[in-house]
């Protein structure tokens, strides 16, 4: 690491002598190699510490969101099983209607199967209702914990990517060009992941409502079962996407707005820079 630091000192000197449209003052002589050596070591230490904290925080956040997505997906698949049971009950009721002779043993067997499936369906929907309510509460808790973090992350990433993109096109050497370019790409990618995961939560929640609606509930005679399905439908229709502290949804649409706004700020900085140097 020390050898790499010494090798990169020449690139760092070129980087810190770069001219911007605003004046930058250094606390030491730019030709002082030892100052650059100590500064670069500090950058490595601070950057490594920040990356560890960032990865732990981001990993914990996205880990919880992934679990939430998986659980929503399980609920969606459960409605597929419920649909199969409803279809089986409807089929048995048709046979039940044909064999109306109550002395017939098959009549009683079919009636018993229908009652058993109805009981299983009620229990399954009751558990599904509890699980769905728990997931919405977890999502609400995550929203309370991370909504401000999402907001700060959005604004800081917007301005950071804007300035790093500007530094990229004004870089005097390949080292600073690559540093700023990959820095802006990585930060944009992190914001994209944040928006993508929130979008997945919203889509999976809507998928639960979709599967609940198309589970052939109209063929059920039990009012109790219909009420439970209706409750899940009404809950799932509300967007489960996370928000930036109640300002806007964290979604792919917001990421597209981020790209647009970042480019606007970047174009403004570039115009000012060209006016100052022409």
Residue 175 domain-assigned (yes or no)? yes
pLDDT of residue 104: 60
Residue 54 domain-assigned (yes or no)? no
pLDDT in tens, 105-116: 566 677 777 777
Residue 33 domain-assigned (yes or no)? no
- DSSP code, position 257: H
Residue 32 domain-assigned (yes or no)? no
* Cα(155)–Cα(228) distance, integer angstroms: 41
Residue 2 domain-assigned (yes or no)? no
Rounded to two decimals, what is the model's pTM? 0.74
- What is the rounded radius of gyration, in angstroms, for the C-alpha atoms of the chain? 30
Number of domains in the chain: 1
C-alpha distance from residue 218 to each of 84, 90, 129, 214 (Å): 14, 11, 19, 9
C-alpha distance from residue 60 to each of 57, 150, 218 (Å): 5, 14, 42
Nearest to 86 by CA among 236, 207, 213: 213
Token pair, residue 106, equals 């098959």
pLDDT in tens, 181-199: 888 888 888 888 888 898 9
Token pair, residue 88, equals 């089986």
Q: Give the residue numbers spanning the domain of 239.
A: 61-276
Residue 230 domain-assigned (yes or no)? yes
Residue 123 domain-assigned (yes or no)? yes
* Cα(155)–Cα(262) distance, integer angstroms: 10
Q: Mean pLDDT score of the chain, rounded to an integer? A: 78
Which position has the token pair 């002395």? 103
Residue 47 domain-assigned (yes or no)? no
Token pair, residue 159, equals 């301005």
* Cα(24)–Cα(168) distance, integer angstroms: 17
* Cα(161)–Cα(24) distance, integer angstroms: 20
Domain of residue 199, CATH code: 1.20.1050
pLDDT in tens, 222-268: 788 888 888 888 888 888 888 887 778 888 888 888 888 888 888 88
The 3-state DSSP class for residue 243 equals: strand
């Amino acid at each position: 690491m020390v050898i790499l630091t010494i090798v990169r000192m020449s690139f760092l000197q070129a980087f810190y002598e770069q001219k911007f449209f605003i004046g930058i003052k250094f606390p030491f002589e730019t030709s002082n190699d030892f100052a650059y050596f100590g500064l670069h070591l500090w950058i490595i230490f601070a950057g490594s510490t920040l990356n560890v904290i960032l990865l732990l925080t981001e990993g914990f956040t996205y880990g919880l969101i992934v679990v939430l997505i998986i659980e929503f997906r399980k609920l969606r698949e459960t409605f597929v099983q419920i649909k199969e049971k409803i279809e089986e009950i409807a089929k048995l009721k048709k046979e039940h209607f044909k064999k109306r002779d109550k002395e017939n043993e098959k009549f009683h067997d079919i009636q018993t199967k229908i009652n058993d499936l109805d009981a299983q369906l009620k229990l399954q929907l009751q558990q599904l209702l509890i699980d769905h309510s728990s997931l919405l509460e977890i999502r609400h808790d995550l929203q309370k914990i991370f909504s401000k973090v999402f907001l700060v992350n959005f604004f800081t990433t917007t301005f950071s990517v804007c300035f790093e993109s500007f530094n990229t096109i004004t870089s005097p050497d390949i080292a600073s060009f690559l540093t700023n370019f990959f820095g802006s790409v990585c930060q944009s990618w992190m914001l994209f992941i944040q928006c993508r995961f929130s979008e997945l939560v919203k889509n999976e929640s809507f998928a639960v409502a979709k599967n609940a609606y198309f589970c052939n509930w109209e063929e059920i005679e039990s009012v109790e079962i219909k009420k439970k399905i209706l409750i899940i439908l009404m809950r799932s229709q509300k967007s489960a996407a996370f928000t930036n502290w109640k300002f806007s949804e964290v979604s792919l649409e917001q990421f597209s707005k981020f790209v647009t706004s970042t480019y606007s700020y970047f174009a403004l900085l570039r115009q000012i820079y060209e006016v100052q140097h022409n």
